[in-house]
Amino acid sequence: MTATAPIPHAPITQDLLTIPRKTPEGGRVNLVGLTRDGLRTALIEAGTPEKQAGMRAGQIWQWIYQKGVREFSAMTNLAKAYRAELEATFDIAVPEVVSKQVSLDGTRKYLMRIAGGHEVEVVYIPEEDRGTLCISSQVGCTLTCSFCHTGTQKLVRNLTAGEIIGQVMVARDDLDEWPRPGEGSGDRPRLISNIVLMGMGEPLYNFENVRDAMKIAMDGEGIAISRRRITLSTSGVVPEIARCAEEIGCMLAVSFHATTNEVRDRLVPINKRWNIQTLLDALRAYPKVSNSERITFEYVMLKDVNDSDEDARRLVQLIRGIPAKINLIPFNEWPGAPYVRSDWTRIERFADIIYKAGYASPIRTPRGEDIMAACGQLKSATERARKSRAEIAAETGVTP
């Protein structure tokens, strides 16, 4: 580990939107998203005797996260009267699927509605050796990366832990992935084997909720996805980076995208607050780096902006000493985007320079392009639809 200057800890103004655990309908407390301790405490507060609460919490946990059960009445190892009490006090609520689109390549894009009528998008990407679920951490984003369509939308709010893990649960419902009666959780190949926090939002600006949700995803008595199969992508919220290793322990990806501060300021404006050098110092000090766990550097390929040979060479210079993999993302265009995708030969040449310098440099195959499900396009279709409805209303005076 390299010694670094202390990083100034700026107040995280974005972490301000705490949502109560109560559901809007019945006022019942939602158990989904509570940590194991939180679940135990909630049961005690509702009258479960303290010495039973640990065991009850364990049973309920397994019903919810191992079996995918949503009704207290189905929790057959609990006494009937107790189930009725739970039913009166608690809820097991997950987001609601508003629409689902399936791409020609098998990618599925879900639009999910959460409390307050907000919507987030979730993408499932099946591949030969894995199935990756790309989930959202915020509705919109406070940051304004100029190549990202989510960045053109304002932050509406942070998702709760229940809404974050709820996206995984609902995708498991749709894929019919919960174990069937009599079946062990390892009996069928996993459909969702990996989770990436690469949907809408900046996960490190919603740290606690993301952490609690990922702890649930990793818990061995439930969804049980290994920490090595969960990747959190950040645009570079430097003061929160170390916490990611310490408190979540998942893999880290960083939206790097440029090799000079001048260009990165334009592409990823958070660079004006924490520039390339500050970010790299934080990555060098990243606790997992000492165990040689690789950090993924994401690099979006924008024609004539950041895709020269010189950029590729500068990139490998910059990251020297950091165990890394560089994921090249061909730019996914969206209507009105101010950039175009680099030519394929350019991307390959860029990849080659990085590879020859000793780094893995996979080019991310765009998936689900026909349904606008690719990186950085999320929510766009919905927003567009909404905008055009609003425009219609403005033009006609009729509210659609």
Tell whether residue 214 is a contact of ligand SAH (CB under 6 A). Answer: no
Q: Which amino acid is at 220?
A: G
Among 30, 332, 342, 380, binds ligand SAH (CB under 6 A): 332
Active site residue 391: no
Select the binding partner of residue 198 from ligand SAH, ligand SF4, none (C-beta < 5 to 8 A, by kind): ligand SAH
Strand 230-234 relative to strand 194-197, pairing: parallel
Q: How many whole angstroms separate alpha carbon 192 and alpha carbon 133?
A: 6
Tell whether residue 197 is a contact of ligand SF4 (CB under 6 A). Answer: no
Nearest Cα to Cα of residue 339 among 141, 149, 140 = 149
Q: How many whole angstroms separate alpha carbon 184 and alpha carbon 170?
A: 20
Contact status, residue 205 vs residue 233, Cβ threshold 8 Å: no
Tell whether residue 141 is a contact of ligand SF4 (CB under 6 A). Answer: yes
Cα-based distances in Å from 267 to 30, 138, 247, 329, 358: 39, 20, 29, 14, 26
Among 14, 162, 376, 380, binds ligand SAH (CB under 6 A): 376
| Total residues interacting with ligand SF4, rule: CB under 6 A | 11
How far apart are CB 340 and ligand SAH at their closest, in Å?
11
Catalytic position from the list 141, 163, 375, 395: 375
Q: How many whole angstroms separate alpha carbon 305 and alpha carbon 280?
A: 21
Residue list 202-241, contact with ligand SF4 (CB under 6 A): 202, 235
Strand 251-255 relative to strand 131-134, pairing: unpaired
Residue list 249-278, contact with ligand SF4 (CB under 6 A): 255
Contacts with ligand SAH, 116-155, as mask; x by CB under 6 A: -----------------------------x-xx-------
Among 168, 300, 319, 328, binds ligand SAH (CB under 6 A): 300
Q: Which amino acid is at 154?
A: K
The residues that bridge with 302 in the sheet, in sequence order, are 341
Active site residue 310: no
For 275, what's the count of Cα atoms within 13 Å in the CB-facing half-sphere?
A: 8
Among 33, 151, 162, 330, binds ligand SF4 (CB under 6 A): 151
Q: Which residues bind ligand SAH (CB under 6 A)?
A: 145, 147-148, 198, 201-202, 233-235, 255, 298, 300, 329, 331-332, 375-377
Q: Which residues bind ligand SF4 (CB under 6 A)?
A: 141, 143-145, 148, 150-151, 201-202, 235, 255
